């Protein structure tokens, strides 16, 4: 997908997005461990993934 690593919006570390990534895919930052979401594919853009809250079946 991306020959060049993408900069993590949390720690500015390098995040590699693999070929075949899809919108909404969550990838971890190898440096800080933050969960990042693929927001755009062309060009590849990532952002901090929203926290998923448990709804306890509601």
pLDDT-derived band at 51 (thresholds 50, 70, 90) equals: confident
Reading the block at residue 9, the tokens are 């919006």
Classify domain 6-48 by CATH number.
Answer: 2.20.28.160
Could you give the CA distance from residue 57 to residue 35 in angstroms, rounded to a whole number? Answer: 24
Q: Is the pLDDT of residue 53 over 70?
A: no
Per-residue pLDDT, 32? 97
For the segment 1-46, what is each residue's pLDDT rounded down to a tens digit? 556 789 999 999 999 999 899 999 999 999 999 999 999 999 999 9
Per-residue pLDDT, 41? 93
Q: For the residues of 22-58, what is the DSSP string, one character each?
A: -TT-EEE-TTT--EEEEEEETTEEEEEPPPPPP-TT-
Per-residue pLDDT, 54? 63
């Amino acid at each position: 997908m991306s020959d060049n690593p993408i900069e993590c919006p949390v720690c500015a570390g390098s995040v590699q997005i693999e070929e075949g990534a899809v919108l909404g895919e969550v990838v971890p930052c190898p440096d800080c461990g933050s969960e990042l979401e693929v927001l755009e594919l062309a060009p590849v853009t990532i952002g901090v993934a929203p926290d998923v809250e448990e709804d306890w079946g509601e």
